Structure 1
Amino acid sequence: MKKSFLTIILLLSIFWSCQTEKKVNEKEEYLRWVGDIEHNPQIDEIDFKVCNGDNKILQYFNLGEGPVYRGEKSKILNTFKSKYQPISDKNKNGLIRIRFIVNCKGKAGRFRVLQSDYDYQEKEFDKETVSQLLNITKGIENWEVYKSYEVPVDYYMYIIFKITDGKLTEILP
């Protein structure tokens, strides 16, 4: 009796866990991957297009190379060193992460900003600091075209800025 009761419970749980039927008008609640960037016509440039569809954008960890930039990281560091104007303030400490997509033509778009303190708790920096970093990042034009099996693909990229006392102290990755 006990075995048959357990068997029925097991079969019912399998039955309910395997149901995949969706309602016709039900919208997908989640993105494909955490961090995917959906097109937002209110903030994204109209002329930026991904080449292979939103479901085929490679994550940065799929590349296995780190930033794919002509001139290597030193060129990016020099760009920020020459253009960023620090706003000295003892209370401006934390991380600003800018995530974006590089399309199959090497053009960047769909920029998103995340801000946190050093403990990764959400924090807001002043608009001038964030705006400077975002505009400099948007101005970078030498992203490499990444190819998978000789076919140009779209991929996600990010830059993390470490801010200490309002000064840019490190750029990752």
Structure 2
Amino acid sequence: MKRKINIWLLVSFVIAALLTLWIYLKLNEHVGDISNDSAMDSAEFSPCSDYRILQYYQIGTYYQGGKKAIKTELLPKIKTDGLPKNGLLTVRFVVNCQGETGYFRTKMIDPDLKDVATPIEASKHFYGLISELKGWVPGQIEGKPADSYAQIAFKLEEGKITDIF
């Protein structure tokens, strides 16, 4: 009788532990993770793996020529129509293992650090400009190219972009 109870308790414990681990892995999202949103994201873009997407600084993702090259390519093309006069617009996105970009998300704050709604058309304009940048070099994990997040911030002053970083 005692043996049956011990076996039952052991099996119950193993099942509970496995269930807890499974729930943890399913629900464990990291701050800032971007999930695919079919209403927003292009069907043409997809990450190369199902593995968690890492941050650019964890695996060394960069743009050829650095931020200076990004500024040179983007500044002449940027239109700030529909955006507030002052603030900071951050576009966060994924660079996949082939150097393609997608899963764009926008956040804007005003000079008082309060969230500002970004008009959809303005967001799409910035997404289009960033997707035209073809110099992304994906980071690597154990010598293999990997997906990672990247971001570009635009500083607006008096209705004009004064800095890109």
| Structure 1 residue 96 corresponds to structure 2 residue 96 | no
* 3-state SS in 2 of match to 1:104: coil
Shift of 1:132: 2.9
Offset of residue 116 of structure 1? 1.1
Name the SS for the 2:33 alignment partner.
coil
Q: For the structure 1 residues 58 and 165, does the alpha-carbon distance in structure 2 shift closer, same or farther, using more than 3 Å as the test?
A: same
Match of 1:44 among 41, 64, 69: 41
Assess if the C-alpha contact under 8 Å between 2:90 and 2:152 holds in 1: yes
Counterparts in 2 of 1:40 and 1:78: CA distance versus 1, 3 Å: same
Distance 1:126 1:112, change over 3 A: closer
141, 150, 165: which is aligned to 2:134?
141
Unaligned runs of at least 5 residues, structure 2? 1-15
Whether 2:103 is the aligned partner of 1:110: answer: yes
TM-score after normalising by structure 1: 0.73
- The AA in structure 1 aligned to 2:65 is G
Give 1 or 2: higher helix fraction.
2
Query: TM-score with structure 2 length normalisation?
Result: 0.76
Q: Distance in 2 between matches of 1:162 and 1:107?
A: 24
Please state how far the C-alpha of 1:69 moved relative to its aligned partner. 0.7
What CA deviation, in whole Å up to 9, does each residue of 1:44-77 have, x standing for no partner?
111212112142x1113313x5x60122222110
1:145 CA drift (Å)? 2.4
CA-based RMSD: 2.8
Pairing partner for 1:123 from 116, 130, 133: 116
Unaligned residue ranges in structure 1 (runs of 5+): 1-18
Q: Distance in 2 between matches of 1:122 and 1:162?
A: 14
> Structure 1 residues 25 and 156, CA, compared in 2 at 3 Å: closer, same or farther?
closer
